[in-house]
Amino acid sequence: MGISMRYINFIIILFLLSSCATTDNGTTTSSGYEPSIQSPDEIIRYKKGLVFLNNNELEEARNIFLDFNKTRPELAGPYANLAVIKIKENDYDSAFELVNLSLRKNPQLPQALNLLAFLEEKKGNIKSAEINYLKAIEHKEDYALAHYNLALLYDIYMQDINKAILHYERYMQLTGYKDKKTADWLEQIKSQNKG
């Protein structure tokens, strides 16, 4: 299968905070989610930042997430989104710093753990990458991208095809079997693994 931009794009994630759970005092819940954005204006602005990020309008996205860091410093998601921007700019050292800031705000944020795993993988720290992908899944079992990324790690780097198949299958279930390329690849490695 090989590492490609498709792989990079699957690892890079976006955060929507409007559906996150909170406790009565607004602190992070044990599920690893963030305090939610309550203000309709904040929700609109945050989503606008995500649209900019998705459209590679990085300067516009950066300005929005930097503003969130000032106005909502308790949130981990904006730091992680800034890390995504740095990844898109191939500035992995800065991305690593931002992910660590995000995880200091919320050590259980699955998306930040997924990003940390990706960055560890880029450094060649395969075992650390595996641990962080597994942590992301532990905090959000239905996190399709973390299952996919972990499947790739097992498939490409660790050559543990049985574990790769397990996580490819979970990814396919969670995404409604819509990814034809991964479905084809899964069938191929399953048939090769029988022999």
pLDDT for 48-71, tens place per residue? 999 999 899 999 999 999 999 999
153 falls within a domain: no
Asked if the structure places residue 191 within a domain, the reply is no
The tally of domains found in the chain comes to 1
Residue range 152-194, pLDDT digits in tens: 999 999 999 999 999 999 999 999 999 999 999 999 999 998 8
Is the Cβ–Cβ distance between 122 and 132 less than 8 Å? no
The answer to whether residue 78 sits within a structural domain is yes
Q: How confident is the model over 106-131, as pLDDT tens digits?
A: 999 999 999 999 999 999 999 999 99
158: in domain: no
Residue 180 lies in a domain: no
Residue 177 included in any domain:
no
Total-model pTM: 0.83
> Considering the domain boundaries, does residue 150 fall inside one?
no
Whichever domain contains 65, its CATH number is 1.25.40.10
Task: State the residue range of the domain holding 135.
Answer: 5-141
Asked if residue 170 is part of any domain, the answer here is: no
Local confidence band at 195 (pLDDT 50, 70, 90 cut-offs) = low
